[in-house]
């Protein structure tokens, strides 16, 4: 969602803030701003639009201060505008605040503050924090204490960084249900919502725990728990290289990350087959406990939800255990049936997704074991789950997830195999065979990426359409859902996904001459049924793009464009068939002149409900 960066130390802060905000652009945003403490006053600059526009505003200004905070905003309360851009300041101008999350009781707080004479200059929920800190500071004359008192009034999720010209050189940070990390360096102290914002300056970071505070000064940072007691945090040394945040010669991050998927498959599978049997020690459940699991519930949002749909097919097919896939945003509001014998699997690329975190907490209250699948070490989903598989995708910059999705699919496939192994539904030799076939998909994805000419042709044929229909049957129906989402996200071309057999129950009314129907038509037990559905669409003038299995020449009689992929077991078709759909979506978006890395209105990490 939004991005936070802050610094205090010996270096001029202006460039540190701009560079940090630039590194956070991948999260998605609509405005940006900074506040610098200098010469006994706060200087605030913010604007609607890109960080590059903010940099142009800041460049000619004499901002030589060494303490400041910055922010990129994704609008929740209040439209994207300069007035609503962070940082927000108090009435007296002595306090500046940046904030991620949502303050649910802001309307009530605003009404109270206005009744006491405070004047607001924005429509945001965040501005109440600045005024609350202002009031508390007037009493305590201590910025840390003032922030602590202010946050006690807040209901909802927040990560905040606060500065005041009354305490030069000090940044106070606090968090609840929204991530915040503190960087420790010889030249000062840093705070950010993501490690990448400070990676040039330091690799030593401490994750601020829920309800805790940090006081940053040029000499370092002091950490306090919710009771106000100082403590020594666990410091993590980040060992991934900066080049994961660079394009590496590709035209955009999305293309780079699509090409990284074979490595993600290999890394996610590394060390998972031990003495011929699957090993996922992180699950922290014995085979006997796994055998007692009578139901699996996957909770996720967006792309991760589609990974869950794929997992449902595998868990029910192999382990013969009922599996439900729930949109995390709906899960806790419908009083779901969860028991101690239910395994809840929470899937989140960022590990920050607010809806998924809320669902985890609800499931744990009901006594379920919760297992997380995420890409981010130490993320809230990882910390609040009983066990976790990391997808080994490394940093994903493009907003539309590709390599993280494939990592999730592979991880969920492992989980399905493990459950089947524990329940005796798959024998050791079967698990061994399946594992090696899954590992082979890395090479098969490389083959797909080596020849994309057919994908380019299909994309050019679709680029001027106003809508598209993605179809499949069986596993292909789940894959089609992800294909449609990718196209919507980055090309702004309306797309829907349906099980192919459902076309005649409504969606076929949309089809006229030249209407794109993109089909997952790989060889499977329902291949003949799928072909019949394509004939129905073709008879009504549809332009068919088929993702088909190598060697299938018969499909050419039913499709205008065919993208061939290597033959794999149907259970693993999601790994291979998803890749051409990613490439088709990207190619159409490029043809339409869209920014594939930062699509409009979207954010990489959705940390609000």
Q: What is the 3-state secondary structure (H, E, C) of 504-554?
A: HHCHHHHCCCCCEEEEEECCCCCHHHHHHHHHHHHCCCCEEEEEEECCCCH
Average of pLDDT values for 270-296? 85
Q: Which residues is 189 bridged to in the sheet? A: 8, 184
Q: Which residues is 371 bridged to in the sheet? A: 345, 387
| Residue given tokens 């940044």 in the structure block | 171
Question: Is 482 exposed, middle or buried (CB count within 10 Å of its CB: 0-12, 13-18, 19+)?
Answer: buried
pLDDT digits (tens, 9 = 90+) for 540-567: 999 999 999 999 999 999 999 999 999 9
> Is 60 exceeded by the pLDDT of residue 245?
no
Q: Which of 38, 1, 418, 349 is nearest to 194 (CA)?
A: 1
Rounded to two decimals, what is the model's pTM?
0.74
Can you read off the two tokens belonging to residue 520?
């997952």
pLDDT digits (tens, 9 = 90+) for 317-367: 999 999 999 998 888 788 888 899 999 999 998 888 888 888 888 888 888
Cα 497 to Cα 519: distance, rounded to the nearest angstrom: 10
Q: Within 13 Å, how many C-alpha atoms sit on residue 540's CB side?
A: 15
pLDDT given at position 606: 60
Neighbours of 603 (CB within 10 A): 21
> Which of the 8 DSSP states describes residue 394?
-
Q: Which of 229-233, 303-307, 327-331, 557-561 has the lowest mean pLDDT?
A: 327-331
Can you read off the two tokens belonging to residue 184?
């420790």
Which residues does the annotation mark as catalytic? 2, 604
Cα 446 to Cα 531: distance, rounded to the nearest angstrom: 27
Provide, rounded to the nearest whole percent, the portion of the chain with pLDDT above 90: 72
Q: Which of 64-78, 210-224, 245-259 has the lowest mean pLDDT?
A: 245-259
Average of pLDDT values for 447-467? 95
Regarding predicted confidence, which is higher, 269 or 571?
A: 571
């Amino acid at each position: 969602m939004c991005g936070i960066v802050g610094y205090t130390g010996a270096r001029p802060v202006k460039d540190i803030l701009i560079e940090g905000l630039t590194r956070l652009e991948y999260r998605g945003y609509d405005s940006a701003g900074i506040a610098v403490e200098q010469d006994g006053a706060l200087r605030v600059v913010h604007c609607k639009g890109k960080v590059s526009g903010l940099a142009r505003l800041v460049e000619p200004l004499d901002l030589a201060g060494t303490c400041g905070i910055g922010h990129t905003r994704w609008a929740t309360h209040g439209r994207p505008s300069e007035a609503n851009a962070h940082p927000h300041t108090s009435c007296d101008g002595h306090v500046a605040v940046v904030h991620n999350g949502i303050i649910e009781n802001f309307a009530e707080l605003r009404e109270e503050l206005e009744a006491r004479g405070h004047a607001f200059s924005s429509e945001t929920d965040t501005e109440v924090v600045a005024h609350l800190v202002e009031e508390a500071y007037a009493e305590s004359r201590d910025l840390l204490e003032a922030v602590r008192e202010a946050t006690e009034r807040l209901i909802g999720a927040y990560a905040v960084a606060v500065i005041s010209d009354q305490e030069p050189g000090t940044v106070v940070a606090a968090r609840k249900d929204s991530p915040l990390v503190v960087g420790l360096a010889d030249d000062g102290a840093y705070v950010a919502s993501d490690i990448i914002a400070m990676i040039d300056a330091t690799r030593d970071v401490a994750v601020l725990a829920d309800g805790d505070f940090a006081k940053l000064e040029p000499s370092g940072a002091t950490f306090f728990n919710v009771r106000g007691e100082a403590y020594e945090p666990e410091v993590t040394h980040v060992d991934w290289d900066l080049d994961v945040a660079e394009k590496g010669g590709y035209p955009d991050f999305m293309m780079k990350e699509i090409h990284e998927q074979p490595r993600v498959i290999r890394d996610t599978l590394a060390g998972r087959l031990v003495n011929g049997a699957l090993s996922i020690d992180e699950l922290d459940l014995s085979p006997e406990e796994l055998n007692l699991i009578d139901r699996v519930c996957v909770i996720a949002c967006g792309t991760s939800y589609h990974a869950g749909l794929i997992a449902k097919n595998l868990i029910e097919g192999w382990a013969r255990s009922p599996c439900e896939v729930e949109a995390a945003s709906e899960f806790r509001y419908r009083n779901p049936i969860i028991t101690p014998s239910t395994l809840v699997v929470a899937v989140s690329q960022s590990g920050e997704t607010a809806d998924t975190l809320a669902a985890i907490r609800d499931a744990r209250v009901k006594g379920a074991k919760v297992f997380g699948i995420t890409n981010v070490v130490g993320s809230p989903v990882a910390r609040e789950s009983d066990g976790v598989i990391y997808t080994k995708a490394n940093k994903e910059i493009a907003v539309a997830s590709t390599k993280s999705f494939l990592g999730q699919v592979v991880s969920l496939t492992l989980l399905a195999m493990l459950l089947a192994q524990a329940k005796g539904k798959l024998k050791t030799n079967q698990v061994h065979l399946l594992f090696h076939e899954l590992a082979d998909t890395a090479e098969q994805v490389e083959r797909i990426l080596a020849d994309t000419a057919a994908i380019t042709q299909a994309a050019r044929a679709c680029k001027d359409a106003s809508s598209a229909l993605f179809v499949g049957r069986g596993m292909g129906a789940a894959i089609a859902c992800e294909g449609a989402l990718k196209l919507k996200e980055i090309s702004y071309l309306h797309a829907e996904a349906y099980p192919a057999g459902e076309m005649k129950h409504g969606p076929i009314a949309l089809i006229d001459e030249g209407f794109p129907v993109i089909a997952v038509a790989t060889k499977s037990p329902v291949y003949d049924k799928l072909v019949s559905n394509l004939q129905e669409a073709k008879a009504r003038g549809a332009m068919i793009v088929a993702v088909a299995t190598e060697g299938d020449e018969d499909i050419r009689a039913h499709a205008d464009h065919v993208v061939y992929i290597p033959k794999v077991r149907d259970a693993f078709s999601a790994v291979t068939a998803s890749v051409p759909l990613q490439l088709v979506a990207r190619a159409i978006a490029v043809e339409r002149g869209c920014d594939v890395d930062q699509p409009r209105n979207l954010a990489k990490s959705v940390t609000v409900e």
